Structure 1
Amino acid sequence: MRILYIVTLYVSICLNFTNAESSSMEKIKADLKRDLDLESSRLESVFDRKLNELKESIDARLEILETGVNLKLTSIQENVLTEVRQDSTRNNGSGQGFLDTMKNEMDKHATVVRNAISSEKQYLRDNIKRLHSMIRKTEETVEENIRAAREEQIKIEESRDTGPSEVPAAHLMGSTYDRMEYPGMQLFPIVHWISQEAFAFTRKVQYRFGRIVISEEGLYYVYSQLSFLEVFDNPRNIETGSLPLSHYIYRYNFIYPRGGEESMIQSSITKCWGQNQAFGEYTSYLGAVFHLRQGDELFVKVSNLTLIVREPKLNYFGLFKVN
């Protein structure tokens, strides 16, 4: 029962993984897009704030420079007026002293203004360098985020390639087709299975005329379950000595001896019914790990096809790679 539970759980995981994987990929892509959008908005906000700070700083410095120039011009004007008065007194109204004084004052304060302008230019150059440095760091941050997002996507793709959805596996369900037994045969192969409907699937193996064909060599867990039902026409005359029901898993490959066909695992149950029963039923389960080669063809045989219950979920045949 524990093996049956593990097999059923694995098959359920394989069946549901595709949808879960798809929704997981969409969620991860949406999360990455949201993170990049948030990062872009944050960087845009930082750029705007830094540019506004730089503009305000430049405006303030220009205002200070303008105020300083005005103060210097006022000072020059006052000094010139003072010198003119003094010169007029010394030279009895001659204007040469006035011109010399004005030239000296203008040269002196022009030097002060040139120094102030040079200082402001250097300040602006320094701020532009800082802004360029910030832009480079921001570009590096964006590139790092994009690279991390791409690496994450590659990891997702790699995990998807090596995840359960890509492990060679198959789960076939019982078909409701009429089953015919041929005279002279002791074991009858089941040649009809449901392979692509309901819970049935094949992945990285082939299904061909009731057989699972192996594409990759390795260790596989192989399993099969069959349910039988026998209805008695006359419950009072039940045959207690009838032949047992046998359930086999075979494999075929031309490289094997005795025609290439050999039994891998089997189960036999002797029918033993009580008196006055209207029907008898039981289930046979097979499961084991085998080393399979590329090209091996696995199939199920049974000693009595007509007693198999026509319910797909009660009869199944499958495998999955375990290494």
Structure 2
Amino acid sequence: MTSAALSSAPAPSQRPAAAGTAGSARPAPSARGSRSTRTAPGFFTSVRVEILKMHRLRVLLVTALLVIASVALSSINLFSQSTIKSFDNPAAKPWAMLLLGTAFFNAMTGAVFAAVLASRQTDIEHSGAGWNLASTSGLTPGALCRAKLAALTVVIVPAVVIQNAVLIVFARMMGISVPLDVGPWVTYTILLIAVDLTMCAFHLWLAAVVENQLVVVSAGLLGGFTGAFMLLAPASVARLLPWGYYAVIIPARFVTSGDKTGYEYISPPSAWITGFLILTTLAFAFATHRLDRIER
């Protein structure tokens, strides 16, 4: 074979390369790499979107109905004749009595309240393929759950404050003339908000991993019964269960000493409550990050 024939032979085919600096060749970026550069919407943008969903889902209406029901249940004792006689007696501590009564009903309804809100806010993602739509915009399921919790916080915080404020105003209208014990009521309101948010975080995670929202609501009902039972259980037992913290945070109790009975204020165990809140926060962060590994 002559040198002319060799020179006329076709060169072997080469893979296309992208020109680099100083003539160096680099592989062209893959489509997968280009998708990974897609920026996810900001956290506050996601929260605003969740708040807009609330208007369509009528979450505010549901919250208002739950607050009205809670106030109605908590104020039942105000119509008792024995309670009415103590309205002007500082020694009877009518505000402590009312606080203990509302804490009992909050223990029963708090978990249900959180379950209903979490289920309503999350069910739309299952029925409308919201998880897939969010992922196409770069929002992972875990990040979406965290945005939902932040949005529901905007609802839960004023709901609890309004609930206790309306109850106090109604008690004044019913005739309680003893000065309000501001400290215990403020303490209980703040701690109740914190426990409600932990319950909401748990039910949000449950609503995300389970498509059947009846499971979420049933868990809320079971939590309500457990929370009410923990009011009668020893404090050492109540501190071991999440629903028991509806009882742990109460800054009042009913005491019996010989022939005397009455109400008194106490200091909730701040170390246990702080530990519980930190633990549940870390658990929710871990659980929502695990959601990102679940294929939908």
> TM-score, length-normalised on structure 2?
0.26
The answer to which structure, 1 or 2, has the higher relative contact order (CA under 8 A, 6+ apart) is: 2
Indicate the structure with greater helix content.
2
Q: Which has the larger radius of gyration?
A: 1
Indicate the structure with greater strand content.
1
> TM-score, length-normalised on structure 1?
0.24
